[in-house]
Amino acid sequence: ETGVTQTPRHLVMGMTNKKSLKCEQHLGHNAMYWYKQSAKKPLELMFVYSLEERVENNSVPSRFSPECPNSSHLFLHLHTLQPEDSALYLCASSQGNIDSGNTIYFGEGSWLTVV
């Protein structure tokens, strides 16, 4: 139990579906992240929110749409995905800037399969 909770843990969706991934952190942190982990690839940063404002978007396709309504919740809205988007999606949070030495804590991830 890391204090970062993700739902659903597993999701299968068709290419025309719309679904959302949810993340909630109970650590009092002020930054939240979405990472994508595909087989044989390093963890890829998708989005960063600090104090509920998006501070980084690593050229992620528009079929992924993040939403951060407050510092404890983060969503990833999914629309018309492709099979290559099948991966483990990890939410994480931290207190302040990572380059100040603050650690990020990961949720358990949401396994997404696009069929």
Stretch of 20-28, 35-43, 61-69, 72-80 lying at the interface with another protein (CB under 8 A):
35-43
Nearest CB to another protein, comparing residues 15 and 102: 102
* Cα distance between residue 45 and residue 42, in whole Å: 9
Instruction: List CB contacts of 110: < 8 A, sequence separation 6 or more.
Output: 6, 7, 8, 9, 10, 11, 21, 88, 89, 90, 91
Any alpha helices (H) in 1-115, and if so which ranges?
Answer: none
Q: Counting contacts by CB under 8 A, is residue 12 touching another protein?
A: no
Q: In angstroms, give the least distance from the CB of 49 to another protein.
A: 9
Q: Counting contacts by CB under 8 A, is residue 22 touching another protein?
A: no
Beta carbons of 37 and 14 less than 8 angstroms apart:
no
Among positions 48-77, residues that touch another protein (CB under 8 A) are 48, 50, 55-56
Q: Residue 98 has what DSSP assignment?
A: G
Q: In angstroms, give the least distance from the CB of 59 to another protein.
A: 13
Which residues of the chain form contacts with another protein (CB under 8 A)?
Answer: 2, 31, 33, 40-43, 45, 48, 50, 55-56, 88, 90, 97-101, 103-109
